[in-house]
Structure 1
Amino acid sequence: MKRRKVGNMLGLAVLSAVLDRPRHPYEMAAVLKERGKDADMPIKWGSLYTVVANLEKHGFLEAVESRKDGGRPERTVYGITSAGREELEDWVRELVGTVEKEPPRFQAGLSMVGVLGPDQTIALLRQRIEQLTERIEAQRAMLEQLRPLLPRLFLVEVEYDLAMTEAEERWTHAFLGELTSGAVPGIDAWRRYHETGEIPDDVGELLEEE
């Protein structure tokens, strides 16, 4: 992935918010929340004004006017520049066409699940499956509500999110089944370690080899 002058996802969102017309930062935030962009990408709203300033600094936004409504502070309205349009399009091309390793928190937890023991892991996976099932039901309901209202082009990110949640639920179910049936290699040694606090000889040999 290329190093960008303004690299956080809020920068991408801001550029998209002013693509149709100039807006001041407050309007940008309102539009992005209305479009649900905070669900599609990690957004830190407290950084909005800093990100807007950086986009202007690098020539992706330009101040087009200042507005003053009553006793409110003056608000600067920003429009996208030709360089900003090029940056936005290039950024989207990169996100869609380039595979990037983005390890989720669940993967990080799985990499260290040995510290918990199999019984606690089984309980936690059951808990996770319940939450995944609830999320899937909510995502499906959302899609059913939105499909009559919006073209599919505006729903593909919701479809993707649902597909990823369903895939995680299937994998978690399968792994849970292996744990509960005892089919995972080394599960007995794993359980003995958590019962006795002693590292089994076969595990100790593997650690020494590393």
Structure 2
Amino acid sequence: MRSSPLALTVLSLLHMQPLHPYGIQRLIKQWGKDQVVNVSQRTALYRTIDRLLDAGLISVRETERDQQYPERTVYEVTDAGRAAQRAWLREMLAEVRTEYPEFPAALSFVLMLTPAEAREVLAERADTVRASIEALDTTARHTAELALPRVTMLEDEYRRAVLAAELGWLDAVTGDLLSGTLTWDFDSLAALAQAES
């Protein structure tokens, strides 16, 4: 089975204690891991659990029956799952992988907008990034009040550093667009592309 952020998260949570899928999803959200792992669709979690089960990385511990809730299957990590979790974690931390996020893909075609439009949308993004940084700072202050160990929030530290770097870049580019030091003419670029084809 190939690693994935969600599979790593499920194995890590089950490494701490046996859980049913709802409990896994609840902990992911309570611990803020939904900011770094996509669990927006419950079906993705259930598919991941099925894949881990088929691969022998987790097993069914028990099925809980309670009149207040539907039947719940509780899963636990296997020895093979513990080994896979450690291997995946080491690999994900050590290796740099090529990822294909939306923003760089959109930037590669920003020339389809006018410089004024580009400045407008990039300034809008900068505002969103600023708000994200403020939210992370609020979380960090709350974490400090709880006296949680720093290791529990390293992903937020990393996200803040990345967002701060992005904000600096966005401010520089929007400044260049505003001053006119970064500009383009779509018709000239399209003619250049036709000449090269």
TM value normalised by structure 2: 0.89
**Are the structure 2 counterparts of residues 8 and 96 from structure 1 closer, same or farther at C-alpha, using a change threshold of 3 Å?**
closer
Q: Deviations over 1:143-194 (max 9, x none)?
A: 111123211001111111111111001001111121122212xx2x51xx4x
Distance across 2 between alignment mates of 1:73 and 1:174? 54
Question: SS of the residue aligned with 1:155?
Answer: helix
Q: Are 1:142 and 2:168 an aligned pair?
A: no
Q: Select the structure with the greater relative contact order (CA < 8 A; seq sep ≥ 6).
A: 2
Q: 2:168 aligns to what?
A: 170
**Could you say what the CA RMSD is over the residues aligned between the two structures, in angstroms?**
1.9
Q: 1:11 aligns to what?
A: 7
Deviation of the 1:9 alpha carbon: 2.5
Q: Deviations over 1:37-92 (max 9, x none)?
A: 11122223222223212211111011122221136443222110010001111111
**Are the structure 2 counterparts of residues 206 and 33 from structure 1 closer, same or farther at C-alpha, using a change threshold of 3 Å?**
closer
TM value normalised by structure 1: 0.84
Question: SS of the residue aligned with 2:67?
Answer: coil
Which stretch of the first structure deviates more once superposed, 38-47 or 153-162? 38-47
Which residue of 26, 38, 41 maps to 1:30? 26
Which stretch of the first structure deviates more once superposed, 65-74 or 32-41? 65-74
Structure 2 unaligned regions, length at least 5: none
Asked if the contact 1:6–1:55 (Cα under 8 Å) also holds between the matched residues in 2, the reply is no
Asked if the contact 1:6–1:51 (Cα under 8 Å) also holds between the matched residues in 2, the reply is no
- The percentage of counterpart residues that share the same residue type is 33
Which residue of 93, 96, 110 maps to 2:93? 96
**Are the structure 2 counterparts of residues 124 and 83 from structure 1 closer, same or farther at C-alpha, using a change threshold of 3 Å?**
same
Q: 2:36 aligns to what?
A: 40
Q: Which has the larger radius of gyration?
A: 1
Q: 2:83 aligns to what?
A: 86
